[in-house]
């Protein structure tokens, strides 16, 4: 994995329209911990097994959607290297000063060809109660709600996904792991990894720029997915689809919605991808099975409902 500077998706900032309902959803139902609340009303949360200060930021707003997805990079030198590569690729970057988010150092911001805003950052404080490291127990606090392990990835909809995939692979060291292609070679969906995960980010081709499909939380296994489905039904959280499995990534999954209409996913059971593994390719006529392996067809919401 020579010179891989991007570690992982570090946090995503989502717009929510009712903070009280959103906290019930993300804190009590999904089971994230609230780490801090900013003077500007933003609430910072993290999953039990994450070391960093936060991985989800909820911003009070009048519309739903994603403000920014940010990737943590190896160190400050890596941040500089990556910035140089973005510039060499013709990408304009913007400096976000340390402190714009609680606990986060300087960030380098750019807009992908799909219209989505991304940040890179190397410095973030440790969360006050992250995983134990001294004679550690498997968890510090008994898991609750859906028992999320971490914020895992986002899937985004936009027009120029070819440009986005080029940027992520050529500048940021991502690899194309799975893709859906038409017979003429048009890529309809691309799943990209900067680690051994099957995907750290994914793009689906869509007429409009800058749309948010879902952010995903890693659960332990299929059993946890089943428990999450019970919890969603009990608490009347709208389920989009699932429990089911993706063909792409093999991930066990449920798609569901937060109170603002942002789609969430709980996800488990994907494979590990190494740089020497071949790309997996789905033909467009198999896209149903690619997305929903058991159903074999898309539901209407998959293509139409984004924020």
Catalytic choice (25, 54, 116, 153): 153
d(CA 213, CA 205): 11
Place of tokens 């139409």: 304
Residue 185 sits in the site that holds a second copy (CB under 8 A): no
Q: Report 60-119 residues binding a second copy (CB under 8 A).
A: 72, 74, 78
Residue 294 sits in the site that holds a second copy (CB under 8 A): yes
Cβ pair 110, 164 in contact under 8 A: no
Q: Token pair of 225, please? A: 């997915």
CA distances from 300 to 143, 289, 303 (A): 34, 14, 6
**Is residue 164 helix, strand or coil?**
helix
Cβ pair 198, 143 in contact under 8 A: no
Q: Token pair of 235, please? A: 């608490």
d(CA 213, CA 291): 13
Neighbours of 152 (CB within 10 A): 24
- Closest Cα to residue 7, out of 106, 112, 121? 121
Residue 11 sits in the site that holds a second copy (CB under 8 A): no
Q: Interface with a second copy by CB under 8 A: which range of 58-66, 94-102, 229-237, 258-266?
A: 229-237
CA distances from 11 to 68, 124, 126 (A): 8, 11, 13
Nearer to a second copy, 174 or 212 (CB): 174
Residue 9 sits in the site that holds a second copy (CB under 8 A): no
Cβ pair 273, 177 in contact under 8 A: yes
Residue 182 sits in the site that holds a second copy (CB under 8 A): no
Among 247, 253, 257, 266, binds a second copy (CB under 8 A): 247
Residue 295 sits in the site that holds a second copy (CB under 8 A): yes
Q: Which residues pair with 111 in a beta bridge?
A: 117
Q: Report 123-162 residues binding a second copy (CB under 8 A).
A: 131-139, 142, 149-150
Residue 230 CB, nearest approach to a second copy (Å): 5
Catalytic choice (53, 116, 206, 214): 214
Number of residues this chain uses to bind a second copy (CB under 8 A): 66
Among 106, 109, 176, 289, binds a second copy (CB under 8 A): 289
Among 14, 36, 229, 266, binds a second copy (CB under 8 A): 229
Nearer to a second copy, 136 or 304 (CB): 136
Is the link from the previous residue into 48 a cis peptide, with omega within 30 of 0? no
Interaction site with a second copy (CB under 8 A): 1-5, 7-8, 49, 51, 72, 74, 78, 131-139, 142, 149-150, 195-197, 220-223, 226, 229-234, 239, 242-245, 247, 250, 252, 269, 271-272, 274-283, 286, 289-290, 293-296
Which residues does the annotation mark as catalytic? Answer: 153, 199, 214, 246, 255, 265
């Amino acid at each position: 994995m020579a010179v891989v500077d991007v570690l992982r998706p570090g946090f995503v900032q989502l717009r929510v329209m009712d903070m009280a309902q959103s906290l019930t959803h993300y804190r009590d139902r999904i089971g994230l911990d609230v780490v801090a609340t900013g003077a500007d009303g933003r609430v910072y949360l993290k999953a039990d097994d994450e070391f960093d200060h936060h991985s989800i930021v909820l911003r009070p707003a009048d519309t739903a959607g994603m403000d920014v997805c940010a990737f943590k990079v190896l160190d400050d030198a890596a941040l500089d290297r990556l910035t140089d590569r973005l510039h060499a690729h013709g990408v304009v970057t913007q400096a976000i000063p340390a402190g714009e988010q609680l606990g986060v150092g300087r960030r380098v911001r750019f807009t992908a060809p799909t219209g989505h805003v991304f940040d890179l950052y190397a410095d973030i404080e440790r969360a006050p109660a992250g995983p134990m490291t001294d004679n550690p127990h498997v968890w510090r606090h008994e898991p609750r709600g859906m028992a999320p392990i971490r914020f895992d990835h986002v899937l985004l909809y936009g027009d120029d996904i070819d440009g986005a995939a080029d940027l992520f692979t050529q500048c940021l060291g991502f690899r194309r792991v799975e893709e859906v292609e038409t017979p003429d070679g048009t890529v309809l969906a691309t799943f990209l990894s900067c680690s051994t995960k099957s995907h750290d980010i994914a793009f689906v081709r869509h007429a409009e720029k800058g749309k948010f499909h879902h952010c995903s939380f890693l659960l332990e296994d299929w059993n946890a997915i089943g428990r999450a489905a019970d919890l969603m039904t009990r608490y009347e959280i709208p389920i989009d689809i699932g429990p089911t499995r993706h063909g792409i990534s093999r991930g066990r999954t449920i798609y569901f919605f937060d109170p603002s209409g942002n789609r969430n996913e709980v996800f488990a059971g994907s494979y590990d991808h190494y740089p020497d593994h071949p790309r997996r390719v789905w033909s467009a006529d198999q896209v149903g099975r690619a997305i929903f392996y058991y159903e074999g067809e898309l539901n209407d919401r998959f293509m139409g409902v984004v924020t």
